[in-house]
Chains A and B, each alone.
Chain A
Amino acid sequence: MQLKFTSEDELFRREVADWLTDNLSGEFAPIKHRGGPGDEHVFVEERKAWEQRLAEGGWTCIGWPEAWGGKSATIEQQVIFNEEYARAGGPGRVGHIGETLTGPTLLAFGSEAQKHRYLPGIRAGKELWCQGYSEPSAGSDLANVRTKAVLDETSGEWRITGQKVWTSLAHESDFVFVLARTNPEESAHRGLGFFLVPMRQEGVSIRPITQLTGTAEFNEVFFDEAVCAADDIVGAPGEGWKVAMGLLGFERGVSTLGQQMLFQTELDEVIRLAKNNGAARNPAIRQRIAEAHIGLRTLRYNSLRMLSGGEDGSLSREAMIYKLCWSSWHRNLGKLAMDVLGPDAELIENEPYELGRLQSLFLFTRADTIYGGTNQIQRNIIAERALGMPREPRGNS
């Protein structure tokens, strides 16, 4: 058991940090620390340009194989990159869906033609992706997707019809991967397909969803006979669920340490505030700040365990608790921030509804315990897969 990184890894860390210092300056200085979760709608054009700057420096897709333009970076190096990226204030990545979800999915399940068509655009930071999983009636019950994919016999193309929801950066994306039903006779996880669909076409329309923060980073995406080329289905019709579940396993937690750096910045701000306004003298607040500090450190060591786990990609026990851990921690931090602010928590910066950073944090963290698997679903997963307790009986859908 060894907590320290090797000296080679530390050299790599310095290389990353130096590059980021040199490049996150000048025209890119204003976007430092911007565009993260809850803030994804800002500086989009600048962040697109930044994505290409990263690509030119060789810093996109570093975990991909060298044959596809990556660095075949080790897990440790990917962790270090994410940590240094967050430490340097690197802006929210507009290319992250393509790099961390589409790319690995195509590398694992895609055809050679699909890889050649799509991987270079992602690697170059020039083609952006969004995801089309959730639907109004397929949230926690993802397998209940109703979006249909029908093969048009005359044109040989797929026609996609239905509605997706909670899609971030939909307006900015060139492509969306869509889980859709290829066989209307089959239900649940059977009869699904995984499609690569161009966003910029007549059959696709987008409607932003205004959130409780007053901002809109999620969208509804409507498909009305949207066109998808015959060979832009990943895997065979009916294999969509397998591909979709594989995708969810790829991330393997390398970005979690970067995420924790952002959390640390937020916690530091709460601590600074508490020291300045006297809340730090309140014993109850002191307990909660200490708990937040311990909780964040716990997330770090949970992640390090998760990342040091087996190479087989199987979900370890500590990986299964991670979502529940961080989402609850972050939501609690939002409430702590309000309690530290005291009476001023209620005063916003400007009309009509311009929130302060901590107020946004407080409101937006209510989403953390819902998206990506609600806390209740996470507890089911832990109980059933880690503890071997009986599966939830299913109703008829």
Chain B
Amino acid sequence: MKFSFTDEQSMLRDTAEAFLASVSDSTSVRSAMQSPLGFDQGCWQRICSEMYWQGILVPESCDGLSLGVVEMTIAFEQIGRRLTPSPLYASALGVVALRSLDESARQQALLKNAAEGQVIALAHTSARSNWDTVDVQAQKGPEGWILTGEARFVSCGHGAQTLLVVADNGGQESLFAVDAAMRGVTVSKTPTMDQTRPMASLHLDSVALDEDAMLSENWGASRRTTLDIGRIFVGAEQVGCAQESLDSSVAYVGERVQFGRTIASYQAIKHKAADMMLKVESARSLLYFAACIADEWLAGDASDGDLAEAASMLSSCAGDAAFFCAGTGIQLHGGVGITEEYDIQLYFKRARSTESYLGRPDEHREAIAKRLLDEDASHAA
């Protein structure tokens, strides 16, 4: 038992911190989020060539680093701290989806593409009624498959060369590889309240695919585990977002003088900051735990149920922590907190967008409650 970073992991964190401090300051974040793509292609290329984070989860045999979810979350925590708009989340989620598949030439080729920095985005839901809603239909066509329908909340889908599309195939969920340039495929960036996490909508209008475009016939269980790992990535971003909300607020109240003292010297302010730190550190502890469980799961040492529980606990805790810290951060900033000029509002929007993405904290608590309180559910899990 050594529940702390190894030297290599500490180094990865320090490098990530220094790198993003130089390439992703407030000015560059704001210019990236207002650009047509919603992220900075140049910044992404530097991440890919200098940091190689897109290769963290890719096996060495496919030119990746063969590292784990712990390492991946280290990068995401720093991304969350800087709010860096980038396709890293889309890329990592795509890699996790690909790793769930049986080894094949197609899968290996896609993993190699991912290691080169190509974004392979997972389009898994329309989220019309909940995050499990799939509104793409697959039908047998004359020479393969015909896909029709829509998917939404496709992270950086508009920056993807290949989309991994989950489709309802006669009652089971199948996974298809779809080239973004194909006839009948429309991917458009979705305007969002939080502009730092670009999303796209996907429309498929009778898209004709080859037989071998189907990567998995029965991918439902893998969709759930892939999204649980995605929740852990988001949890890492939330921890970073919460941490920076705390740090920038503590810095601000240390400078702001009222009644002849810095407002940081008042207990009403100090105690708020202490509550923020408590939430950040608690969420961070659960993040490290969940990342360790995800690595155990990838190694076959933890069950799907263990992974789901860890992901739900983290989503509940980190989602609340980010929202509390960013919201309290605005309060501690006072009037300037609600201006466009100060960054705390960006953190607040990011906290809100990640809080409902892939399930709100209360939904995750209900999932935990099912495991604890409903006999049938605990057997199933």
Residues of A bordering B, CB below 8 Å: 1-6, 9, 76, 79, 271, 274-275, 280, 283, 286-287, 289-291, 293-294, 297-298, 301-302, 304-305, 307-309, 317-318, 321, 324-325, 376, 378-380, 382-384, 386-390, 392-393
Contact = CB atoms under 8 A, between A and B. Distances in A.
B369 A325 contact: no
Interface in B1-28: 1-6, 9
B273 interface: yes
Contacts of B109: none
A293 B372 contact: yes
A384 B274 CA distance: 9
Contacts of B262: 390
A383 B277 CA distance: 9
Contacts of A1: 2-6, 9, 70, 288, 291-292
Contacts of B296: 3
A298 B4 contact: no
Given A305-B3, A386-B277, A3 B289 contact: yes
Name the prevailing secondary structure of the B interface residues.
helix
Contacts of A382: 273-274, 277-278
B365 A291 contact: yes
Interface in B259-276: 261-262, 264-265, 267, 269-271, 273-275
B232 interface: no
A3 B270 contact: no
Nearest to B4: A308
A392 B269 CA distance: 12
A294 to B, nearest CB: 5
Nearest to B295: A1
B362 interface: yes
B285 interface: yes
Contact of B281 (A271, A286, A308, A317): A317
Interface in B274-322: 274-275, 277-278, 281-282, 285-286, 288-289, 291-293, 296, 313, 316-317
Q: Which of A1, A3, A378, A379 has the most CB of B within 10 A?
A: A1
B70 to A, nearest CB: 5
B217 interface: no
Given A309-B4, A387-B274, A3 B265 contact: no
A304 B1 contact: yes
Nearest to A1: B70
A304 B287 CA distance: 13
28 contacts: A1-B288, A1-B292, A3-B3, A5-B1, A271-B372, A280-B374, A287-B365, A290-B365, A294-B286, A294-B313, A294-B317, A298-B282, A298-B317, A302-B281, A317-B277, A321-B277, A325-B278, A378-B274, A379-B267, A379-B274, A380-B270, A383-B270, A384-B270, A387-B274, A389-B254, A390-B261, A390-B264, A393-B265
Given A5-B1, A76-B1, A390-B265, 11 more contacts: A1-B3, A9-B1, A274-B373, A280-B374, A290-B365, A294-B316, A294-B317, A318-B281, A376-B271, A387-B246, A389-B253
A294 B270 contact: no
B227 interface: no
Contact of B286 (A5, A298, A388): A298
A148 to B, nearest CB: 32
B273 A308 contact: no
Interface residues of B, number: 46
Q: Which of B4, B5, B254 has the most CB of A within 10 A?
A: B4
A13 to B, nearest CB: 11
B173 to A, nearest CB: 27
A389 B264 contact: yes
Name the prevailing secondary structure of the A interface residues.
helix
Contact of A297 (B4, B70, B265, B289): B289
Q: Which of B261, B264, B275, B369 has the most CB of A within 10 A?
A: B369
B365 A294 contact: yes
A2 B278 contact: no
Contacts of A5: 1
B373 A297 contact: no
B366 interface: yes
Interface of B: 1-6, 9, 70, 246, 250, 253-254, 261-262, 264-265, 267, 269-271, 273-275, 277-278, 281-282, 285-286, 288-289, 291-293, 296, 313, 316-317, 362, 365-366, 368-369, 372-374
Given A1-B292, A298-B282, A321-B281, A383 B4 contact: no
A301 B286 CA distance: 7
Nearest to A4: B1
B274 A2 contact: no
B285 A305 contact: yes
Contacts of A378: 274
A130 to B, nearest CB: 31
Contacts of B288: 1, 301, 305
A267 to B, nearest CB: 9
Nearest to B71: A1
Contacts of B267: 376, 379-380, 392
A31 to B, nearest CB: 30
B270 A389 contact: yes
A382 B270 CA distance: 9
A298 B265 contact: no
Contacts of B366: 283, 286-287, 290
A299 B267 CA distance: 26
A293 B112 CA distance: 41
Nearest to B279: A321
A321 B3 contact: no
Nearest to A389: B264
B271 A383 contact: yes
Nearest to A384: B270
Q: Which of B253, B278, B365 has the most CB of A within 10 A?
A: B278
Contacts of B265: 389-390, 392-393
A2 B4 CA distance: 8
Contacts of A309: 4
Contacts of A393: 265
A275 B3 CA distance: 34
A2 B6 CA distance: 9
A369 B321 CA distance: 21
Contacts of B271: 376, 379-380, 383
B264 A305 contact: no
B275 A290 contact: no
Contact of B292 (A3, A291, A384, A387): A3
Contacts of A290: 316, 365-366, 368-369, 372
B328 to A, nearest CB: 13
A324 B366 CA distance: 26
B368 A308 contact: no
Contacts of B289: 3, 297, 301
Contacts of A376: 267, 271
